[in-house]
Structures are given as C-alpha cells and as structure tokens.
Amino acid sequence: MAARAFGIRGVWAYAQERWYLRALIGAALVSAVLAVVIVWVEWGGTPTDKRVALTFLINLVAVIGFQVFMGNSGVPTFGHVGFIALGAYTAAVLTTPTERKTAPSLIPDAPSFLLNAEFGFIPSLLFGVLIAVLVAAVAGLVIVRLRGGSAAIATLALLLIIRTVIGNWEEITRGPKTWSGIPEFTTVWVALLVAVGAIFIARFFRESGVGLRLRATRTDELASSAVGVDISRARYASWVLSAGIAGAAGVLWAHYFLSLAPQDFFFTLTFLYIVMVIIGGPSVSGAVAGAGAITLVTEFVRRSETGGIHLGPLDFDQVFGLTPVVLGLLVLLTVIKRPEGILGRWELDELLSKATARFRARRSGQAPGTVAAVDTQSFTDKDEELGAVGTRQQERTSSSPRRGKDKRSHEGGKNE
Amino acid sequence: MPSILTQLKRWSSRRPPDGREPSGDALIHLEAITARYGSTVAVRDVDLTVKPGEVVAILGANGAGKTSTLKAIVGMIDVSGGRIVYAGEDITGLSPERIVERGISLTPEGREVFGSLTTRENLRVGAGINGQREYPQRLEEALTLFPVLQDKLDVFGGLLSGGEQQQLAIARSLMSDPELLLLDEPSLGLAPIVVERVFELIEQLRARGTTLILAEQNVERALRVADRAYVFSTGRVELEGESAELRETGDVERAFLGLGVENGS
Amino acid sequence: MTEVAQYVINWLALGSIYALLALGIAIVFSLLGLINFAHGELVTVGGYTMVVLAIWDVPWALIIPLSIAAAAVAAVLMERVAYRPLRGAHVATTLLGSLALSVVIQNLFLMFAGARPEAIPFPSWTQDTFEVAGIVIRTLDVLTFATTVVLLSAVLLFLRRSARGIALRAAAENFDVTRLMGVRANALIRGAFALSGLLAGVAAFFFLATAALVSPTTGFVPLLKGFIAAVIGGLGSLSGAVLGGFVLAGLEVSFQATLPEGASPFIDAFVFGIVIIVLFIRPHGLRAERSALVERA
C-alpha cells in the first residue's frame, strides 16, 4: 500500500495507517476550521459577536474535556464541571493581587502562602490543571471501577462534593460569596491557543492505543475485556486527562469573567455542556461541532427573547427560561432520533475519507462497501463497526431490563 | 416500530370483507411468514399449519429459526412478510397480550421462570390480570398435572431444579387455559430422566386436547410424541411430513444440516 | 435525654419523607432500569397545584388529594411523552434524556410561574405542637411518620398480594416474559409511574409544609435526597429504598448532632462521599438487582 505513495491519495492512505499522523491531520483540520471562524469574527464582528466567540472558545475547551472521557468511554459524567470549578478557583486564589486578598472582604484568614501568591497566567494555568488532575486522580480510583450507571452516579456525587466544599470553605474560596477581582489574562488568542491545544491532545488520545482500547469498551464492554482490555485502566487515563482539560477551561473562565461564584459551576452549566456533547457526538470534531451548534442556537434564542439582562457566564436567561427548554427538547430529540449526534461517531477527517471512498467506488462502478471499495483504506486501527449482531445490545434500559432474550420485542404501542 | 406503510398493509389485509375466512380445519396457519431481528432474517417464507388437537414438532439445529417462528406467532418479533391466521382471524402484528387473550401461550426457551417470585406467584402471573377468577381452579388443575410443584408452592422460582422449573414454566403457560400451547425446547439442558418426565407431560397435555407446537432439537423424542413435523434450516422449512414417515427416511438428518432432501417439500 | 428523643423524632419524620421519595424512584427504576431525574419535579407540580387550588379557595381537605392526583397524572404524562420513546435505548441515553426532561419541566415552570417562590398557605394545624414528657413534638412530624407507615404498608401489601402487584414484580424481573402471560405492558408501566407520582405527591405535602414555599427549583432537593436514599438502599430494591431513606435521614441527623458547628455545611459532602463508597462496595452496577436466586439454565 505504501508503495503507491505518490500524490495526495497516496499520502493520505499512508497517513491513515499511522495513528499519530491521523491524529495530527485530523486535529489540524479541525483547528484550521476553528481558526478561520475565529479570525473572521475578530476581523468583522460586533463586540457582542466577539464576546460570544470567546465564551464559545472557553466552553469548547470544557466540552473537549467532557468528550475525552464521555465520548471515548461512553460513560456520562456529571462531575466535570467540578473540575472546571477547581481550575477556576485555583486560578483565582493564586493570581488575585495580594492586597485584594488580604482585605477583610475577601479571604483574610487564608494561609499566607496563598495570600502572597500573585502568579501570572502560565503558572495559573499549570496549577489549575494540576489541582484538577490531583482530585481526579484520587476520585478516579473509585469511579473507574464502577460499572453500568453507577459510574455516572458517582460522578454526580463528585460534583456535589466539590460544590459543597468550595461553597463552604470560606477561608480559601469565600464560601458562597462571589469572588471578584481576578486579573484578566484571557484574550481571544489565548483562548484559541488553549482550545487548539486541547483539540490536539484529545485527538491524539483518541487515536492512541489507550484511546482505541477505551473506545472498544464503549462499544462492547464484555467483548473488549474478553480480548484483554483493562477497562478500569483505560477509563482512568481518560478520566484524569479529561479532568486536566476541564481544569484548563476553568482557568480560562476565571481570567475572562473575572468573578466566580460556586453556583456558576453546578447543574445549569453541566447541562449545557452535556447538551453540547450529545448534539455533537462522541468524537473530537463532534465536540467542536456540538459546542458551535449550541452556541448558535443559544444566541438565536436569546436574541428572540425580548428584554431581560444577560449577566456574565450564564448563557441562560433566568427570567425567561426559554433557552433551557429549547436545549432540553433538543437533547430529547437527539437521544431519541439520532443518538450519535450530528457527526455520527466520526471525526471530520474520517467523514471525508468515507465520502471520498464512496465517491471513488461509485465512479469505478463498484458497489460501495465491497472489498474493492476499501482498496485505499487500511484495515488497521479502524474501529469500523461491521454491524455484528449484538454489539449494541449491552446496557439497554428497559423493556427487557435484565434477561429479555429479544431486545426488539418491546413494541409498546403495537395495536394496543 | 413497523413503518406506517407496513402497519397499513397489515391492517387492510386483516379481515376480508365478509368476516371470518375459511381456513379449512386448521387451528393456526402461517403463510409465507418472514420475520427478522433488525436486518438479520430469522425466518424466511415459512408455511406451517396445525390442526386442532395435533402435536406438531418444529425441528432444527440452533439458529434454524424454530424459536423465531414461535416468537413470531406470539407477537414477540416483527413479522415483515406473510400472515398468521388463527381460528379464522388474522393475528399478524398483534401484540403478545392480545394474542394470549385469544388463547395462544408460549413457554419460552430456557424456561424463564421468575426467580424472585415463588412458584405460587409464578402461576398467579400466568393467569394474567383478567384470569384471577379462574385462578384457584386452574391452580388445582395445574397441581394435578404437575404434582411435584405441590410441595414447592412457596419456594422461590430461582431455587427450583431445572426439571422443576421446566414443569413450572409449562404449568405457568397453562394457567391462561390456552387452546394452543407453544413449547420452546422443553428438553434443553435437562437430564435424560427429567426429559422423559417432560415428554410424558406433553403426552398428557395432548390427551387433554391441547394443541401443541413443539420446537425441539431432540429429534428422536419429539418425533415420538408428535403427529407431524417440520424441519427447519437457516430460517426455511426444508422438510415436512407425518412423523411416522419422517422417522423412516434419513431425510431428517439431511434437512437438519441443510443438505437438501430427495422427497421433501 | 430529651435531646435524643428530639433527634429520633426528627429522624423518623425526615426518614419518612426520604423513604417516600426513594420508593417512587425505585419503583420506576426496578421496572424500567430508568432513573427519573424529573421525579423532583413531581413535588414541584404538587406544590404549585396546592398554590393554585388555595387561590381558588378550595378547602384543604380537597387540596391534598387533588395535589397528589396532579403529581400522579404528571408522572403518567412524563412516561407517555418522554420515556416511552426511549424504551430500549442505551442506559446513558436514557439518563441524559431524563436529565433533559427535568430541565425542561423546571424551566417551563420558570417561564409560566416566574422565579419568585410562591407561598403555600398550609392549614394552621401543620404548625401545631404538643408536649409529651417534656419533649416538644410537631403534629406534622407524627403525621408524616404515621401516614408513611400506612402508605408503605399498603404499597407493600399491594406488591405482595395483589395480582397487579405480583405482575409488577414479575415485569421488573423479566418484562418480555410477563407480556407473554397476557399482562398489558403499557398499562403496567403507566400504573408504576402513577404510583411513583402518588408517592411523590404525598411526600410533597410533608416536604413543603415546613418552609411553605414552592419555586421552579423546589424539586431539586427532593430528587437528590430520594435518589441518594435509593442508591444507598441498592437501586432497584424497593425495600432497600425505604431503608435507604431512613439510613440517609439517620446519617444527616447524627452528623448534625455530633459534628462541630463549623462542619455542618459539609454534612452534605460527607453524605455524598458515603454514596460513592456504597456504590463501590456494592459494585453491582445499576442493572444487576437480580435476586440472589438466579434461575438455573
């Protein structure tokens, strides 16, 4: 195959066979699209547009954090907003000017090493990620061993724990009170840089050995463990990595919105991000697409609502509540009709590959899907689902929750 | 969920304008039935007839389509082609609840008794919500037929032995007083002595006048108790005939393996 | 000594509310493998119904049953609109759909009722107290516990003895085979949801009676408590849910009693931590609530 490495087609085929090149090309592709959009907005957009774009980038980093875990493992996480909170508060505590911190209104009783800390952006980012990763490393030991829906519940419990601790640890976080006065480091280019970094990391993870093994468990837990995949270990890797990315999002958040409150990082935000992941689908490109799509929808709905004041971080207008309804309905629609999201399960470059292969096959008169049609594709490292019977059967809710032999026999409305 | 078009087709084909249609003397008749799980076709173009009081065996290897045929009859899987006529009525596409109401009952493969319910409770569920009035009487009849259950009435279904579970499963199906009883591999996984007992029971049921369709891999035993038999292979009927005849020829083995037969249908 | 008695009464009353909520969640879960995140919204429905009926000067003797009925109806509607299309879907999908439903309902209330909490004019006897051996007891607490005991016994009896109840338990174990017995699947599921709604409606009355306020986000705490209690008891086990309710209440009351003042806001964190530990120790996963008595092949 590599012998025919002349021309674009050959190079593409060559690259497809090597996972790191695939990851590189794929991430570069998506990042390029992203960069183009951002530049376009910066060049010709209104201040509101620019604000939306920056918020979008911060949300994107967060969603990629979700995706690295949820998209690859198939386990929903309700806890990642907690990591965002950890990143944000770490950034806040470590970078807010000392005089502000020592003032009686903020955190005068904090340990002095915290009071004296006045770091710049890079250390802030590093520490934010570090704290998130540490907490994730500990919690993950338990969480990744849970199977079925228990894991999701445990992530929910984690969110609650983090929320409760941050919301009550007055000495360090000001407890339930708003923290303000964070230095502004996040510009659109900083955010773009972090976002692109996240895209590359996420994509490399997805294509790597660990990522592949993890994705196998998403499709079929039993089968993958039968071929020796250690589910817990694979999940642990993605759990910790994703927490780090979420922490980075939190740092960006803190340095953009400049003030924090514990309730910012709770169910409302969780819901928003989960919607984005669901709509976009479990791939990295999907995360980008989902974040973008939902941002557009939210903006559209908001501009249709009359009046109301839109404060800072929350994308929902609490007075009207229309936006969440729309989003909620979108989620319901998506999970019912197209559970794999906008892009199916695929990355952008994978979709392109498939489209060109089909186009080429049709041109040469062969039916797509036959062996000849995949002439230029490699069989290595692709997780193509060949439609084996039974791969989608695991973990279904209901109608036959435990032992029903025939999962298709649950036609509720038949001639009732 | 079958498409609107499919549902319309079924609905319009259900009753002929002049009411019940003549079905000869068949109790149940499957006509060109095709059934599938998703995109996998399990049963293809199958014709099958059972007369009242008959015991008909469906034979075949694993995956031949025996269970799927029974499930199609009882409405558990989607029928994508053909129709099923029972006692003069087209029941294709009806939900299992409706079909059970009409007098068909399936004892599923692997018995599937409710492990967390007692024997008594299992039987009670078998009678259905509407059968509660007749329940006490049918319970007695069941215990007469299956005396081994008498002592186990308050034992959890999950604690019974394989043979007891099989008897419970059959008894449970009988609680709805069906006209037509479908038994899916009743001998599966049971010791030979127990298998004997089960087939004795089947004989008794036949003697009572219950019509039976029996899906089995145990060809020898099934042919002894059945009047007629169909042999399935990869979803199609390869061979059918009187069981006496079938036992003579070697066609059954060939049909089992899908090798094609000399005198088959 | 009187303090201990006080704590016990608190525990019993709180445990009752949690048990009712947990049972409602567990019933739906055991039947469908589905966590109804919108269960909390049933309490909100009950609350707003009370508000509206009170505005119309309906006597409380009627308001109570009507608000309970409203919750039951709302539950059935949820099933029809959101959960029926999701039957047979992947566990994660249904979890997310359930979450979406909860958010949608909450925000619908927000849109139509406004964010401001509404006062519920509970009858004055809910504030009454009486004294026994030097201990001050709220009538409400006694009523909560007594009603719960009666209601739970009735439900338990129903599940153990009646044909429908047995069918429900059968369906929870093996839905398809239950259909083979001629039991109407949809009616059964509807009934289960209605029952969970009823339990939520009753819980709503007792839960809301203390603060006497309802807002769109009221449902969040009942959901959380009910859910945690159900998880502690082992999701899918009905008796476990009831037990879990009392265990959760017990944990909360004892933490409150024993921990130093400064730690009290962190009680919740402790409890959540315990939830994770419980999940870990009983790593059966959400689906494995088979009875220990598994049938042999």
Q: pLDDT of chain C along its 297 residues, tens only?
A: 677 888 899 899 999 999 999 999 999 988 887 889 899 999 999 999 999 999 999 898 999 999 999 999 999 999 998 888 877 666 667 777 888 888 889 888 887 888 888 898 888 888 888 888 878 888 899 999 999 999 999 998 888 888 888 888 888 788 888 888 888 878 888 999 999 999 999 999 999 998 889 998 889 889 988 988 888 777 777 888 888 899 889 988 888 887 776 666 777 787 888 777 777 776 443 333 433 222 221
Type of residue at C90: H
3-state DSSP assignment of residue C214: strand
Sequence-distant (≥ 6) Cβ neighbours of residue C134 within 8 angstroms: C2
Q: B114 contacts in A (CB within 8 Å)? A: none
- C294 DSSP 8-state letter: P
Number of domains in chain A: 1
Distance from CA of C57 to the nearest CA of A (A): 29
CATH number, span B4-256: 3.40.50.300
Tell whether C162 is within 8 A of chain B (Cβ): no
Query: CB of C263 within 8 Å of any CB in chain A?
Result: no
Q: Per residue in B216-229, pLDDT tens?
A: 888 888 888 888 89
Read off the amino acid at residue C207. Answer: F
Task: Name the residue among A143, A148, A325 with its Cβ closest to that of C108.
Answer: A325
Partner-chain contact B101 C182, CB within 8 Å: yes
CB pairs B-C closer than 8 Å: 99
Q: How far apart are CA B255 and CA B237, in angstroms?
A: 9
Rounded (10°) angle between helices A149-168 and A121-143: 130
Residues of B in contact with A411 (CB under 8 A): 1-2, 78, 95
* Record: contact C293-B106, CB cut-off 8 A: no
Q: How many residues does chain B have?
A: 265
Tally C-beta pairs within 8 A across A and C. Answer: 209
Q: Hey, of C91, C282, C290, which one would you mutate to test binding to chain A, going by the most A CBs within 10 A of its CB?
A: C91
Q: Return the structure tokens found at A297.
A: 């929808």
Domain annotation covers residue A281 = yes
Look up the CATH number of the domain holding residue A283.
1.10.3470
Give yes or no for B118 touching C (CB within 8 A). Answer: no
Find where tokens 């025919």 sit.
A4
Close Cβ partners of C239 (under 8 Å, ≥ 6 residues apart): C156, C233
Mean pLDDT, chain C, whole residue set: 84
A176's CB contacts (< 8 A; 6+ apart) are A167, A168, A261, A262, A263
Give the model confidence (pLDDT) of A194-213 as tens digits.
999 999 999 999 988 888 88
Q: How far apart are CA C201 and CA C193, in angstroms?
A: 12
Q: Does A387 touch chain B (CB under 8 A)?
A: yes
In contact, A136 and A80? CB cutoff 8 Å: no
Confidence (pLDDT) at A112: 75
Q: Does A401 touch chain B (CB under 8 A)?
A: no
Residue B8 clears pLDDT 80, i.e. is over it: no
- What are the structure tokens assigned to A71, written together? 């998209």
Residue B231: beta bridge partners?
A: B59, B239
Q: Is residue A36 part of a domain?
A: yes
Is residue A375 domain-resident? no
Query: Which of B16-20, B242-246, C7-11, C103-107 shows the lowest per-residue confidence on average (mean pLDDT)?
Result: B16-20
- Domains of chain C by start residue, with CATH: 2-281 (1.10.3470)
What does the pLDDT look like over C18-60, one tens digit per residue? 999 999 999 998 888 788 989 999 999 999 999 999 999 989 8
Does residue A226 fall inside a structural domain? yes
Q: Least CA distance to A411: which residue of chain B?
A: B1
Read off the pLDDT band of A3 (50, 70, 90). very low
The pLDDT of residue A135 is 95
Yes or no: say if B264 and B240 are a contact pair by the CB < 8 Å rule: yes
What are the structure tokens assigned to C216, written together?
């769109």
Chain C residues closer than 8 Å to A154 by CB: 275-276, 279-280
**Gap from A414 CA to chain B (nearest CA, Å):** 6
Cβ-based contacts of C288 with chain A (< 8 Å): 148
Among residues B124, B130, B168, the alpha carbon closest in space to that of B146 is found at B168
CB atoms C87 and A402 under 8 Å: no
With respect to residue A236, please indicate whether it lies within any of the assigned structural domains: yes
Rounded to a whole number of angstroms, the distance from the CA of C15 to the nearest CA of chain B is 27
Question: Dihedral, CA atoms, C42, C47, C49, C51, nearest 10 degrees?
Answer: -170
> Cβ A328–C185 below 8 Å, yes or no?
no
The DSSP code for C56 is: T
Best residue in A335, A407, A409 to probe C by mutation, most C CBs within 10 Å? A335
3-class DSSP assignment, residue A173: helix
Residues 208-227 of A with CB under 8 A from C: none
B110 to A405: CB separation less than 8 angstroms, yes or no: yes
Please return the burial class of A397, using the count of CB atoms within 10 Å of its CB with bins 0-12, 13-18 and 19+.
buried
Q: Is A389 on the interface with B (CB under 8 A)?
A: yes
Query: Residue B128 and residue C181: Cβ atoms within 8 Å?
Result: yes
Percent of chain A with pLDDT over 70: 80
Of C191, C187, C205, give the one whose Cα is nearest residue C158: C191
Residues 6+ apart with CB under 8 A from C107: A321, A322, A323, A324, A325, A328, C216
> Which positions 37-66 of B are in contact with A (Cβ < 8 Å)?
37-40
Domain range enclosing A258: 2-369
* Per-residue exposure over A84-122, b if at least 16 CB sit within 10 Å of its own CB, e if not: bbbbbbbbbbbbbeeebbeeeebbeebeeeebebebebe
Interface of B with A in 93-112 (CB under 8 A): 93-98, 108-110, 112
| Neighboring chain C residues of B159 at a CB cutoff of 8 Å | 293
pLDDT value of residue B9: 53
Of B106, B129, B160, the CB nearest to C180: B106
Residue A18 scores a pLDDT above 90: no
Comparing alpha-carbon positions, the chain B residue that sits nearest to C164 is: B129
**Contact flag C176-A410 (C-beta cutoff 8 Å):** yes
Average pLDDT, stretch A340-367?
75
Question: Chain C partners of A139 at a C-beta cutoff of 8 Å?
Answer: 276
Kindly report which listed range (A178-192, B234-248, C205-219) carries the lowest average pLDDT score.
B234-248
Strands (DSSP E) contained in chain C are 118-119, 129-132, 135-138, 213-214
Segments of B165-234 assigned E as strands = 180-184, 211-216, 228-233
| Tokens found for residue A65 | 């954090």
Residue among A149, A157, A339 whose CB faces C275 most closely: A157
Distance from the Cα of A74 to chain B's closest Cα (Å) equals 23
Helices and strands in chain C: count of H runs, count of E runs: 11, 4
The C-alpha of A398 sits at a distance from chain B's nearest C-alpha, in angstroms, of 15
- Give the neighbours of chain C: at least 3 Cβ pairs within 8 Å: A, B
The shortest CB-CB distance from C167 to any of B125, B161, B173 is to B125
Residue A391 has pLDDT above 60, yes or no: no
CA–CA–CA angle A22, A27, A33 (5° rounding)? 130
Nearest Cα neighbor of C288 from C276, C279, C296, C297 is: C279
Buried b (16+ CB within 10 A) or exposed e, C80-100: eebbebbbbbbbbbbbbbbbb
Within 10 A of A311 (CB to CB), how many other CB atoms are there?
9
Here the ipTM equals: 0.78
Q: Quick check: A410 and C95 CB within 8 A?
A: no
Is A51 within 8 Å of A59 (Cβ atoms)? no
Residue at B228: amino acid letter = R
Average pLDDT of the residues in B81-108:
87
Using a CB–CB cutoff of 8 Å, tell me whether A47 touches chain B: no
Q: Chain B residue with minimal CA distance to C168?
A: B125
Instruction: Tell if the CB–CB gap between A164 and C265 is shorter than 8 Å.
Output: yes
Helix (H, G, I), strand (E, B) or coil at C92: helix
Q: Quickly tell me which residue has 């689906």 as its tokens.
A: C287
**Which one of A403, A414, A416 would you mutate to disrupt binding with B, by most B Cβ within 10 Å of its Cβ?**
A414
Q: Is B3 on the interface with A (CB under 8 A)?
A: no
- Say yes or no to pLDDT of B23 above 70: no
% of chain B surpassing 70 pLDDT? 87
What residues of A are in contact with residue B39 (Cβ under 8 Å)? 387
Domain boundaries, given as residue ranges, for chain B: 4-256
Mean pLDDT estimate for chain A: 77
